[in-house]
Structure 1
């Protein structure tokens, strides 16, 4: 089994289908999944094609051997190691042995909905470009393994509150990881100017949309504004973002706008007109056209699908 095509932005649902996993537990309205790779039935040795997902992921390797590659950097998979990736770079996994490996994936909408709008303030490493895999102590791995088992148990339940519970458990897991891994975080590209530009852009993008949402500002940034914030020419900023992430700057801005829109639309108390202005659109029709172009349905239809 192999991901034969290089995918520009592989969604969670596409990941399930590519790995021949059952989609019976997959909820298209919620961006979260968890499964153990020993359930997939890989034909070993296995190697995936290079792909760039549009979600965050944590890989908890209790027992297994293989290799993880992000862009030109490779890491050997070791027992009791934790791997983290975010929607940024191309990556490849290869496996020689799989005994007990848990993969947790989630998107930004899930984070904002179930953990909170300040998620990147609490967990800044989520915005970092690349985080080195970490081999942890037996005691710490047992702690994370216990939380993962609880998350998996809740995920398999078809209860109205399962994602709220999972959100709380995921927050606990992220705080544990922050305390034990982030304290001595050592990014691959430490000191690399291009990577610092990318990280600064991501943080500014996040802060800008928080300010729009809260009403601190009422005008959406243009590429020129993001460039001015780092004293860069907009063409240079665009070039760096594209070369380092594989995605142009307008796509980053559009995806961020869409994520915030979906999060706001799930709150039925906020009128669509208010959301329109919160996200920097001058007319509701402009916002509706933007949303429908990317989601295939109108903001009203999206809201209705979450409040049946």
Structure 2
């Protein structure tokens, strides 16, 4: 599982960049306003040969999708079947797979980066919103009336992004905020839980999240996910459920797997770099050098310095 940047998103969706897409991305970079774009799902598939299926990965951007069609969304231990109308609020924190059942897909979606929203004069912090809290659902069913109401917001986005209005990005941020508030009023969709497939998926995603943090290649690099709670929140499952699943599938607890991988990396850094013990400790997420030293000695029987020498 990889992490997809906003530029890689276009390549992932369209196979290769469309000329107008390249130009737009470059213009947004120059304006230093973060990134925002909005698409008509039906139109873009034909125009740029977009790939409707989205594989498992983590993204560096947020995405709001207004869906009209038969689709399946899989994340952690849940599978959501979409029969007609729905809206999906994707966050960089949750990896998911999106699969359409046919080519009869309509709707809209917008993508935006966190820095696009932080430019807002309201000072909005996305991760503080209820809809983006850990262990919350992010797919909501809509009826025909709700679909039309939300579609009207996307239509305004399409019109505004083509305009020459001086403050159009402020207005587009307001439309995003309006979508977020509409989503927070909705009820999540019921999921189908296939225990065997879900267990395998959670285990695979956990191990990929773990491995994606390594190797540590710079003394300024630091682990983003350090403990079982961090991984459980990223996977949108309860920490006890993650632990139970990993124990059943691997014979080891979440903590044991994390500990083993951090110990492995610490040995590599001690032997292959000239970084001091404090730098290695910081990279691996320890608050104090003493904590790292105690951890290493408990796991290996040697102090970090003794192992290095």
TM-score when scaled to structure 2?
A: 0.53
Q: 2:12 aligns to what?
A: 18
C-alpha distance in structure 1 between counterparts of 2:145 and 2:189, whole Å = 22
Cross-structure match for 2:151: 145
| Pairs within 5 Å for 1:92-171 | 92-95=97-100, 96-114=102-120, 116-120=122-126, 123-171=129-177
Q: Which of structures 1 and 2 has the larger relative contact order (alpha carbons within 8 angstroms, sep 6+)?
A: 2
Query: 167-176 vs 236-245, which deviates more?
Result: 236-245
- Flag the 1:35–1:74 CA change in 2: closer, same or farther, 3 A: same
- 2:93 counterpart SS class: coil
CA RMSD of superposed structures (Å)? 3.4
Q: Is the 8 A contact 1:115 1:167 kept in 2?
A: no
Q: Cα distance, 1:71 vs. partner?
A: 2.8
**Does the Cα contact within 8 Å between 1:25 and 1:156 map onto a contact in 2?**
no
Following the alignment from structure 2 to structure 1, what is the Cα–Cα distance between the partners of residues 190 and 117?
A: 23
Match of 2:44 among 31, 40, 45: 40
Q: How does 1:178-257 map to 2 (within 5 A)?
A: 178=184, 180-181=185-186, 184=187, 238-242=227-231, 244-245=233-234
Give 1:19-98 correspondences, 5 Å limit.
Answer: 19-20=13-14, 21=18, 22-23=20-21, 24-26=23-25, 27-28=28-29, 29=32, 30-41=34-45, 47-61=53-67, 63-95=68-100, 96-98=102-104
CA distance in 2, matches of 1:187, 1:109: 32
> Which 4+ residue blocks in structure 1 deviate beyond 6 angstroms?
42-45
Change beyond 3 A, Cα 1:72–1:125: same
CA apart distance, 1:9: 1.8
Asked if the contact 2:3/2:59 (under 8 Å) is kept, the reply is yes
Deviation of 1:185 after TM superposition, in Å, equals 5.5
- TM-score for both structures, normalised by structure 1: 0.53
CA distance in 1, matches of 2:42, 2:150: 18
Cα shift at 1:162: 1.7
Q: What is the CA distance between 1:158 and its match in structure 2?
A: 4.6
Aligned to 1:175, which of 175, 181, 197? 181
**Residues of 2 paired with 1:103 and 1:32: CA distance?**
11
Q: Could you say if the C-alpha distance between residues 81 and 130 of structure 1 is closer, same or farther in structure 2, counting changes exceeding 3 Å? A: same
How far did residue 35 of structure 1 move?
0.6
Say which one has the larger Rg: 2
| Rounded Cα–Cα distance in structure 2 between residues aligned with 1:145 and 1:155 | 15
Number of paired residues? Answer: 193
Rounded to whole Å, the distance in 1 between the matches of 2:173 and 2:52 is 32
Structure 1: tracts of 5 or more residues without a match: 1-5, 189-222, 224-233, 249-308
Describe the shift of the 1:237–1:106 C-alpha distance in structure 2 as closer, same or farther (beyond 3 A). same
Query: 1:78 & 1:51 partners in 2: Cα distance?
Result: 24
C-alpha distance in 1 between matches for 2:189 and 2:155: 28
